[in-house]
Amino acid sequence: MRDKVKILVVDDQMAVALMMVFLLTRAGCDAQAALDAEKTLRLAQTEMFDLITLDIDLPGTNGFEIYRRLKKLPCCCDTPIIFVSGRPYDEDRQRAFELGAVDYIVKPFEVTDFVFRIKSHAKAKSRPSDVPDENPDPDTQSLCNTP
């Protein structure tokens, strides 16, 4: 089991991608950046990410299309994806959630909030579902173990 949460940051603006990678690395994550669809898909198939952040406005295609392509890959079908976009429009937010995104963060964002939300979603994905609660309720346990 890895100690660090592994995150792929996808943004077409290199300065923004590097800033997000820096913030996440400083917060104890293992973060990498991709600036386009080709690199995003290549990294997603060769690395095992706990979470992917995805901008909407990308060269050649948009983040919604990349989202669909990522979710078709066996390696990414369960990977949480958060849209991080400069587009504050309700239509974009609604479309992201309809696709299955776990969150939508509007740029510019507050640094602490950004890091907290990314790490929370990534850790929720990486937590094994069969780890018992600290104080398990015996009635609930028996319901969960029913075939």
- Was domain 6-144 assigned CATH 1.10.10.10? no
**pTM of the prediction?**
0.83
What are 87-139's pLDDT values in tens digits?
A: 999 999 999 999 999 999 999 999 999 999 998 998 886 655 433 344 444 44
Token pair 């995150």: residue:
7
**Dihedrals phi, psi of 124, to nearest 5 degrees:** -65, -35
